Chain A
Amino acid sequence: MEAGFALFVGVLMGCGVYLLLRARTFDVVLGLTLVSYAVNVFIFLMGRAGGRAPIIDGRAATAAYADPLPQALVLTAIVIGFGMTAVLLMIALRTRAEAGSDHVDALPDSTEDGAQR
């Protein structure tokens, strides 16, 4: 099962990195979302794959339970990732509206907009 999970995380991460390296904001947002899924599953797995639900009811040895802490960590990471993706989407949409293109370098650089000095 570990191998399956590892493959799953690896494929997600690979697709995410591929999309992240493309120069379109839409692809980059999708890529970052896939990367954050991969990371979240990875954190989750760090609490032992395939353990019992961490409700200590005395019916199994302590070693059989999954570690509940990564589940709390992953919850925090999901919430933060959601917020960050929302911010990035907003910025990407603004860029698309201002530049008329979703290329990441579509807008002019600050050195090109006439000398301030």
Chain B
Amino acid sequence: MTVSHWLVAPIVLPFITGACVLLLERPAPRLAAAVSVAATVALLAIAAALLWVAAQGGIEVCLVGNWKAPFGIALALDRLGALMLLVTALIATAVVGYARGDGRGDQQGAHFHALLQFQLMGLNGAFLTADLFNLFVFFEVLLIASYGLLLHGGGAPRLRASVHYVVFNLAASALFLIAVALLYGLTGTLNMADLARRVAIAPAHVGPLLQAAALLLLVVFAAKAALLPLYFWLPATYRAAMPPVAALFVVMTKVGVYCFARVSSVLFATEPLRDLTHPWLPLLALGTLLLATLGALAARRLPELVAYLVVASAGMLLLAVGLGSERAVAAGVYYLVHSSVAAAGMFLLADVLGRGDYGALQDASLPAAAAPATAFVVMAAALAGLPPLGGFIAKAMLLDASQPLALAPAVWTIVLVSGLGATVALARTGSRLIWKTGGVVVRSAATPRRTLADRGAVALLVGAVIAVAAVAGPLTDYALATAHQLARPQAYIDAVLGAEPVAPAWNPRAGAEGH
């Protein structure tokens, strides 16, 4: 058992947990939930350990099935993948805690914990795999779990959102398969490292077809990441989902961004595909940012507002990927951590604030409302990108990185205007939610008490947002190293293709000959 074997842990652990939870949830629902919480915390520990491994600078490769790279499926862990694993595990821990908390969100329908674990399996697999078809399979795993999670809790609005979401994603999956099949037909491989090598030596006449396949792939990732013409599903879906589910879905848009970054790094480094994303990606990302800000200003409820801010953060991230310089990508990596945690926390907080307990603030309820109100101010500042929190640092890094580019005036204007728009939208919503005076306190008897679990879950994410700003130094160093690693895909390619299968400790054939 070496370090590289641990790469399967973030996939296998949720898989086994999900299966156990399915068996346990009928006879012992409390035990099943406890198993799910424990496994998610264990996943957080594993992800932290893998981040430490990746931070050493090497690329760990695990050959699943022990076949040498282009033939079998390889898992690869680099800095970006490890960071995504940790962010996912952190948000999942908060989500599972919140769902166990006051609203008994996990009891409002069947199979919440099993679906959550399968979703984690799909997410972690997508972050680790080095094979395009395997990426498709993990996409489908996380999508089919997300269909169930979106429907969790029932009700007509969720059903309506589900129809649209499922149809949209099935159409995107069909495009993904066409792109994958086309790439396979042209190069004869689906291993990303091998693909990069073969694209570089592909004959000139297949160049346009390769470009078409790569662009189809990008359309699929853009649909997942909510890029301009393809983001309309997101606000309706996130608004309809249960708050803990919406918080988990924040990671799903980041999968699209991750795939953009991975594919741009490994595949688009060589000639027929080089600069394939210029200049339309930064322009579309800026458009996304602008329209999402308008959406945030028009949003009538906090979850809808946060959903539009998730779209805006996707715009920021794809802008960073699209600008392509190392410092811009580093800003994107830092912003990815910050915006995921902040948006997930805000979805949970919106639920806490939206229950009616804090509908109107009166003297007697002041102490009770102080904690969530403070949390709201912190998270709002984080989402709007105000100093001293991480959003500000990331935006400053991105603006600084864009300075030498021709696109700089547009980038500066739109990023700053979107920050202002988000601030206005959040301030307006916050004052309406928290400072409304003279109203009647709506406190229905059915409103459950806050428990330690959901307070802890929100506190974990608020704490994480503050921590992202507090450890900004080491984290930006990590982000810069990540961007450095992404800009030099040769190490990734060499690591994946150079990984040697493990010699079996016991040779069954040798044993058979002895008899």
| Chain A residues close to B by CB (< 8 Å) | 20, 25, 28, 32, 35-36, 39, 42-43, 45-47, 67, 69-70, 73, 76-77, 80, 83-85, 87-88, 91-92, 94-95, 98-99, 104-111, 113, 115-117
Contacts and interface: CB of A to CB of B under 8 A. Distances in A.
Contacts of A115: 300-301
Nearest to A112: B157
A104 B185 contact: no
7 contacts: A36-B170, A43-B184, A69-B184, A87-B166, A107-B159, A115-B300, A116-B301
Contact of A46 (B147, B156, B158, B182): B182
B137 interface: yes
Interface of B: 133, 137, 140, 143-144, 147, 151, 156-164, 166-167, 170-171, 173-174, 177-178, 180-182, 184-185, 188, 236, 239-240, 300-302, 304, 354, 359, 433
Given A110-B161, A111-B300, A117-B433, A84 B177 contact: no
B182 A111 contact: no
A111 B236 CA distance: 9
B239 A32 contact: no
Given A32-B170, A94-B159, A104-B164, 19 more contacts: A20-B167, A35-B174, A39-B174, A42-B177, A43-B180, A70-B181, A73-B180, A80-B173, A84-B143, A84-B144, A84-B166, A87-B147, A88-B170, A91-B151, A91-B166, A109-B157, A109-B160, A110-B160, A117-B433
Contacts of A85: 170
Contacts of B359: 117
B156 A107 contact: yes
A42 B461 CA distance: 45
Given A39-B174, A39-B178, A111 B239 contact: yes
Contacts of B170: 32, 36, 84-85, 88
A109 B301 contact: no
Contacts of B354: 116-117
Nearest to B173: A84
Contact of B184 (A70, A88, A98, A106): A70
A91 B137 contact: no
Contacts, number: 110
Given A107-B159, A111-B304, A77 B177 contact: yes
A91 B159 contact: yes
A32 B175 CA distance: 12
B188 to A, nearest CB: 8
Contacts of B239: 110-111
A20 B163 CA distance: 12
A108 B157 contact: yes
Contacts of B301: 111, 115-117
Contacts of A36: 170, 174
A72 to B, nearest CB: 9
A113 B133 CA distance: 41
Contacts of B137: 76, 80
A107 B173 contact: no
A11 to B, nearest CB: 16
Given A80-B140, A107-B160, A110-B161, A46 B185 contact: yes
Contacts of A104: 163-164, 167
List the 3 closest pairs (A to B, CB-CB), nearest first: A110-B157, A46-B185, A107-B160
A73 B184 contact: yes
Contacts of B133: 73, 76
B22 to A, nearest CB: 16
**Which of A67, A85, A91 counts the most B-chain CB atoms under 10 A from its CB?**
A91
Contacts of B164: 104
Nearest to B188: A67
Given A36-B174, A91-B151, A46 B166 contact: no
Nearest to A28: B167
B181 A73 contact: yes
A104 B159 CA distance: 10
Contacts of B188: 67
Given A91-B151, A104-B164, A109-B236, A99 B156 contact: yes
Nearest to B160: A107
Contact of B159 (A45, A69, A98): A98
Contacts of B147: 87, 91
